[in-house]
């Protein structure tokens, strides 16, 4: 499967967000990963649909919107209207029944299901029939720049045995951990600080892709 890099803007400079996104696009990233946090599901607050709407105007890349919020079903429509292409919901925040309803209601976007490092794979098995992709968290969600939790690797391997769609991994991705998650079967690498805190975005993205 082709390896895609999703640049996670959480580690960008929010005072120059447009500029950083254009730089990441020109440097060869494949998706723009947008972390939405509500201060309830995770202990941090970030951005809402109005920011997604304005990002939509400045990039052609697909917008990969990661909802780390309670009651995500109440906000899906707003994020779609704002221009999201992919929306990830956490299995800790939505039942399989409600996930399926969202999928059916808003068939124009891709829906992913995510799980935290401590959440066992069995929790998401029922969602796999309707999910377009799975996003495996490799840090506890809430902040960029955390260390990769390597105990998620067996989970990615097991998931790859039973799921043929895209597997995204998010948290602590760099040139070393990128190889570990690719070998385990992941093909979308969401990466924030390794790209945005580097001096050379292109080199960082290539190092992840070629790891
Ligand atoms: C964490 C976010 C990640 C984060 C990754 O809750 O979901 O997308 O930005 O950042 P790095 O790559 O710095 O771990
Ligand atoms: Zn994320």
Each residue's pLDDT, cut to its tens digit, for the chain (211 residues) gives: 899 999 999 999 999 999 999 999 999 999 999 999 999 999 999 999 999 999 999 999 999 999 999 999 999 999 999 999 999 999 999 999 999 999 999 999 999 999 999 999 999 999 999 999 999 999 999 999 999 999 999 999 999 999 999 999 999 999 999 999 999 999 999 999 999 999 999 999 999 999 9
Given a contact cutoff of 8 angstroms between Cβ atoms, the answer to whether 79 and 49 are in contact is yes
In the chain, pLDDT over 90 holds for what percent of residues?
Answer: 100
Nearest CA to ligand 1 atom 9: 144
Q: H/E element holding 177?
A: helix 175-184
Nearest ligand 1 atom, CA 195: 12
Q: H/E element holding 134?
A: strand 133-137
Given a contact cutoff of 8 angstroms between Cβ atoms, the answer to whether 97 and 111 are in contact is no
Residues 6+ apart with CB under 8 A from 105: none
What's the token pair of residue 146? 């955390």
Q: How far is residue 179 CA from its own chain's centroid?
A: 18
* CA 191 to centroid of ligand 1, rounded, Å: 6
Q: Does 170 participate in catalysis according to the annotation? A: yes
CB 146 less than 6 A from any atom of ligand 1: yes
- Main-chain phi, psi angles of 63, to 5 degrees: -100, 120
The tokens 């919901």 sit on which residue? 89
Q: What number of other Cβ atoms are within 10 A of residue 129's Cβ?
A: 10
What's the token pair of residue 154? 């067996």
The tokens 């995510």 sit on which residue? 114
What confidence score (pLDDT) does residue 179 get?
98
pTM above 0.95, yes or no: yes
* CA 60 to centroid of ligand 1, rounded, Å: 22
């Amino acid at each position: 499967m082709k390896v895609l890099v999703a640049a996670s803007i959480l580690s960008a400079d929010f005072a120059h967000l447009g500029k950083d996104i254009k730089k990441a696009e020109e440097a060869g990233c494949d998706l723009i990963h947008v972390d939405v946090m509500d201060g309830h599901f995770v202990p941090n607050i970030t951005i809402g649909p109005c920011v997604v709407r304005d990002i939509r105007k400045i990039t052609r890349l697909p917008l990969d919107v990661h909802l780390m919020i309670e009651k995500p079903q109440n906000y899906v429509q707003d994020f779609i209207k704002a221009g999201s292409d992919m929306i990830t919901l956490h299995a800790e925040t939505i039942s399989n029944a409600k996930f399926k309803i969202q999928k059916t209601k808003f068939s124009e976007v891709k829906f992913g299901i995510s799980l935290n490092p401590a959440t066992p794979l069995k929790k998401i098995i029922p969602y796999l029939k309707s999910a377009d992709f799975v996003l495996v968290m490799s840090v506890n969600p809430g902040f960029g720049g955390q260390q990769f939790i390597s105990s998620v690797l067996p989970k990615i391997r097991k998931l790859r045995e039973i799921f043929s769609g895209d597997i995204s991994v998010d948290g602590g991705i760099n040139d070393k951990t990128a190889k570990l998650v690719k070998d385990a079967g992941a093909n979308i690498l969401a990466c924030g600080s390794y790209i945005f805190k580097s001096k050379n975005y292109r080199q960082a993205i290539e190092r992840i892709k070629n790891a």
